[in-house]
Amino acid sequence: MAQAILSGFQGKPINVHKGLFINNQFVSATNNHTLDTTNPANAQRLTDVSAAQKEDVNWAVEASEAAFREWRPTPPQTRVRLLSKLADLIERDAVDLASLESIDAGILYGESLQFNVPQAVDTLRYFAGWADKGAGQSLHIPDGLAYTQHEPLGICAAIVPWNAPLMITIWKLAPAIATGNVLIIKTPELTPLYGQKLAALILEAGFPPGVINILCGEGKVAGQAISEHPKIRKVAFTGSTLVGRQILRAAAETNLKRVTLELGGKGPSIVFPDADLENALFWTALGITANNGQICAAGSRIYVHDSIYERFLEEFKVRMSKTAHGDPLLATTNKGPVASVGQHQKILGYVKKAKEAGSRLLCGGEDLDGNFVSNTAFADVNEDDVIMKEEIFGPIAAIAKFKTESEVITKANNSEYGLSAAIFTDNISRAHRVASAIETGQVTVNCWGNLHSNTPFGGMKQSGFGRDLGKEALDGWTNSKTVSIHLLPVANGECAKL
């Protein structure tokens, strides 16, 4: 199967296979279907990769089914070793993987190298540590004994997004494999190159054929075929709420496969008057500009106490305006492009709507060259304005003031989403009180984001259900089986006979 040679950080050549990765082989898609991938920074075509069709999904399922029969009884220590080896290889090739995310997704090279890739490595090592610790419980029952054991689901699938593709893929892969499942990964059609490199590392790590298959493909073709396949027992999805609903519907109409969903977000960041203002400014600005705001946990709604509101706006404007946009591979760049032309147009559409609604433009709102969008903030945004309610997935902050704690809790919860929130205060009692009252799956205090491999991440309401990361993630990849044993009574010193 053909390979492409791409130019990464400082011109380093990177070889990537162009085929689907099925049964530890790189193969062409049915009828040689391909997808082109483009560098969003300069609109130049990078290469094409094979695009999975329904027949290819079926082929991957067959490979997974055959592999599971051999993989299920494999000793847990083997899973520990393979996951650890994959972590070592990703760490070794960190420059290549960060480069691919940069040229394919517009992610800043330094951001990927310092956060995305290490987070993937840490997640693999964390779940490798769980692979041999899947213990159940021993339970006393009348006239007997019961125990539980956790068993793998079997053939599972992960459909991953384009905004942090390597990291989120590993969020699915690590617990799935640690618990003894086999996995089909559908990489995003917009940013597939990391997956082609990851497949080569999986092969090098020594995973048996069919245990992990990686398919690039369109959501409406490969994604739909995965969602509807009767032999796939679980789909883990990160992406939009709209697509999450489609996957859930497909699961309900076919084999009732298990589904976990990490969907959209409209995260509130709340700045109280006793907060360390410099710290709050740093994290709130980062929370809406990191990866151009193309993060489901972005802090896109910022509520500031009215006593510090104008001062906050003045300083926030300065921080948002300190940008140098350009090639995301360069160290001098601190703002890369958004991921695609479509994403660029969508973000600018929201800027137009905010202006029409009469929100005060604090900074930005400009259409820069190519797929670049300036960091933008609107002040005095009403609760019912579209930029306060809808997920934009871009560097657009909606800022409003508040007077009381109860008022801002109501505003923070006034959203169909419930993924992440941030609180800034030096009052520890207030921090606990507000964190408990906010309806999100994650709350950070005096920081934003703060993801770790041992802390569960996921949402509530229309941000989905199920958890990535942490011990809680393991539950989504296993079935709990109860075994009950009736202990026969002893009669005349001998065991009773039936």
Active site residues: 262, 296
The helix (run of H) or strand (run of E) holding residue 204 is helix 193-205
Q: Which of 197, 384, 245 is nearest to 301 (CA)?
A: 384
Closest-CA residue to 328 (of 316, 318, 317, 339): 339
pLDDT of residue 498: 45
- Cα(327)–Cα(102) distance, rounded to whole angstroms? 9
Take residue 23 and report the two structure tokens written for it: 């049964």
Q: Tokens 């699938």 label which residue?
A: 157
Task: Tell me the domain boundaries of the chain.
Answer: 3-263+463-482, 268-445
Q: Which two tokens stand for residue 370?
A: 């190519």
Nearest to residue 456, comparing CAs of 470, 475, 477, 466?
Answer: 470
**DSSP letter assigned to residue 29:** P
Question: Which residues sit opposite 187 in a β-bridge?
Answer: 216
CATH 3.40.190.10 for the 268-445 domain, yes or no: no
Separation CA 369–CA 43 (nearest Å):
11
Count of Cβ atoms closer than 10 Å to residue 19 Cβ: 21
Amino acid, res. 176: A
Helix residue ranges per DSSP H, 234-291: 241-253, 277-289
Structure tokens at 441: 């799956």
Q: pLDDT digits over 129-164, tens only?
A: 999 998 889 999 998 999 999 999 999 999 999 999
What is the distance between the alpha carbons of residues 78 and 76, in angstroms, rounded to a whole number? 5
Pairing assessment for the beta strands 268-271 and 301-305 based on DSSP bridges: parallel
Question: Using H for helix, E for strand and C for coil, what is the string for 51-88?
Answer: CCCHHHHHHHHHHHHHHHHHHCCCCHHHHHHHHHHHHH
Task: Look at the alpha carbons of 248, 480, 178, 454 in this order and tell me if their dihedral is positive or negative.
Answer: positive
The pair of structure tokens assigned to 391 is 């997920």
Backbone torsions φ then ψ of 89, nearest 5 degrees: -70, -40
pLDDT at 367: 82
Q: Please report how the helices 277-289 and 309-321 are oriented relative to each other, as an axis angle in degrees rounded to 10.
A: 50
Check: CB of residue 235 under 8 Å from CB of residue 247. yes
CATH superfamily of 3-263+463-482: Aldehyde Dehydrogenase; Chain A, domain 1 (3.40.605.10)
Pairing of strands 420-424, 442-445: parallel
The pLDDT tens digits for 412-421 are 999 999 999 9
What is the DSSP-derived secondary structure letter of residue 280? H
What are the CA-CA distances from residue 398 to residues 192, 281, 368, 394, 490 (Å)?
32, 14, 20, 12, 73
* Closest of 137, 111, 407, 152 to residue 258, by C-alpha: 152
Positions of the chain with pLDDT under 50: 496, 498
129 vs 81: CA distance, rounded Å: 10
Contact 227, 235 (CB under 8 A): yes
Q: pTM for the whole thing? A: 0.95
The token pair at 213 is 């298959």
Q: How far apart are CA 205 and CA 78, in angstroms?
A: 12
CB proximity list for 68: less than 8 A, separation 6 or greater: 152, 154, 155, 181, 182, 210
Tokens of 427: 């009052």
Domains 3-263+463-482 and 268-445 share a fold: no
Half-sphere exposure of 148 (CA within 13 A, CB side): 11
What are the C-alpha distances in Å from 312 to residues 132, 277, 444, 464? Answer: 50, 8, 20, 33
